Structure 1
């Protein structure tokens, strides 16, 4: 892994299992996805059961995240979006853990694979369309038709809005995947340079270590930022499914 920055994203087969025509093979990607999901469920259950009137440190942290995501839903989707807050709260924490998992030594970045990010984005894209059809009926089509537009310009705008709407899951999934992929590649290259300099001339390794540490802290912030962007965009798209244009 010292010379190949892409090796950290390699999917490794850990065990081959099958049931009739179903392939249930276990890889490092699927294993870490299961572990993170179980960890999120376990931590949430434990904190809820041990919650007190005066919060402890873990409860205080969860309450901060809770209020943060709740403010996103309130600002972007309004009161009608409160019913979908559990979904957005869960996806925020899940993506945050996916992003931060790659900063653990010898671990794996789940969100660095487009199949994961695009599947999440496409799932919510389809879900919001279903919500829009149920809640608004034919009025949901108003998302493709901007108000107060000249009639001669309306067909072109409808085509543009439809194309923009259709590209939502692609832009949402690729944005998260590309940011995590690029950041971890950069961190890997700089870490490799640090190890090389430390072996050749240790005095040059000191500024290199400072740069690697700064990039690691930056990646920590980017992991949180990308979870925030993914969640706020989902809340904005949800608003289109709840409020008629």
Structure 2
């Protein structure tokens, strides 16, 4: 699950202004939000961004659970991740936008997992827990049944503003997602993971290039312009079998 989506979850209650209203029009077509009692300046900026984000508005209008749905659509349009009958595992799936897209675009079996609870989605098996926990891993493996054709990871830590710490956390999440993909993907399968510009190490990319036919970076238009977020797309898994 991305920082953007993680930040959306606990703050959705803030969309309705307090009595008296604090939203004002700064310019035609733009909603400005002022600070108010119990609302910090950062909260006001977050709300203003949400109210004026065309992808947030479009997601609500079309029934997607998050604006991140458009990111995976763009990646799928470019690389054809989801083929009819494909099996998909989504690591860090909350609130479920990527699961929705995978099912809509042909996947017949989707298993999603996240530390946060996710409302049920018809056609998907959803787990609340940490997939690195052996007990949860067993549950995930049982639900998968067969090896997946696609492994997705939109996992991301909330950044704390300390560059080195944030970098280590980002790299750590990518590493565990890569490890999961290499252990579970079907030969010829696809792996997609969130990364950040300068966030992944050369060793991770070298590992992916060793095990996949093709590895690319992709910056969706749905990613905010001021975000360093991008995605690594690894195509054509070359399963070498047990070592």
Query: What TM-score results when the alignment is normalised by the length of structure 2?
Result: 0.26
Higher strand share: 2
Larger Rg: 1
Could you say which structure has the greater relative contact order, defined with CA pairs below 8 angstroms and 6 or more residues apart?
1
